[in-house]
Amino acid sequence: MRLTLKSVNDPLPEFAINAPLEKGGGYRILARRLPGAHNRTMKVIADLCVVPIGVGVSVSKEVAICERILAAAGLRTHLHAYGTNIEGDWDRVFAAVKQCHEALHTAGVPRISTSMRFGTRIDRDQTMEDKVRSVEDKLIS
C-alpha cells in the first residue's frame, strides 16, 4: 500500500508507520501524535557520557562544566563513574546536552564524543529511583 501526503501537516492515518517517498525511493518515518500529547510534556530518563577529546588525561574539569549546566537547567541528575543519569522533560534534557557541547567548545575543547541512552514511557510516571528500587526489591526476595 502506498501512502501519499500532500504536506507534512496532513493528519497521519492510524496505520502510518513508514511511508514511501514519492520520488527517489526510500522511506520517511512518520509518527502519529498520541491523543492528548499536546497537553503534556514527554519525560525522559537518560544516561549521558560526554568525552572531551584533546584536553589531556583528566576530564573532571569538563565534566564539572556539564554538571553545572544540567543543574542550572533544573534537571534531576545522578553522577556516576562513567557518566550522568538525567531525568526531566525531553526538550529541557536535550537542550542542556546541547549547552554542554557549546560550553565545552567555548572552553577550548576541540572535539567531543557523546554517547546517550534514553527511555520514555507513557503508561505511568517513573523516576530513576523507581527503576533502581524495582531491581533492588527483586534482589532481596
In this structure, the answer to whether residues 98 and 117 fall within a common structural domain is yes
In degrees, rounded to 5, the angle at the alpha carbon of residue 20 between the alpha carbons of residues 14 and 22 is 120
**Where is mean pLDDT largest: 4-13, 31-40, 101-110?**
101-110
CA trace torsion 68, 132, 38, 73 (10° rounding): -10
Q: Is the distance from CB of 122 to CB of 36 less than 8 angstroms?
A: no
In this structure, the answer to whether residues 69 and 110 fall within a common structural domain is yes
Count of domains in the chain? 2
Summarised one tens digit per residue, pLDDT across range 93-104 is 999 999 999 999
Beta bridge mates, 28: 19
In this structure, the answer to whether residues 51 and 119 fall within a common structural domain is yes
Cell of 23: 520520488
pTM of structure:
0.72
Q: Which residues contact residue 101 at a Cβ distance below 8 angstroms, ignoring those fewer than 6 apart?
A: 50, 112, 114
Q: Is residue 5 part of a domain?
A: yes
- Note down the domain range covering 73: 43-123
In this structure, the answer to whether residues 52 and 88 fall within a common structural domain is yes
In this structure, the answer to whether residues 56 and 110 fall within a common structural domain is yes
Q: Is residue 137 part of a domain?
A: no
pLDDT grade for 141, boundaries at 50, 70 and 90: confident
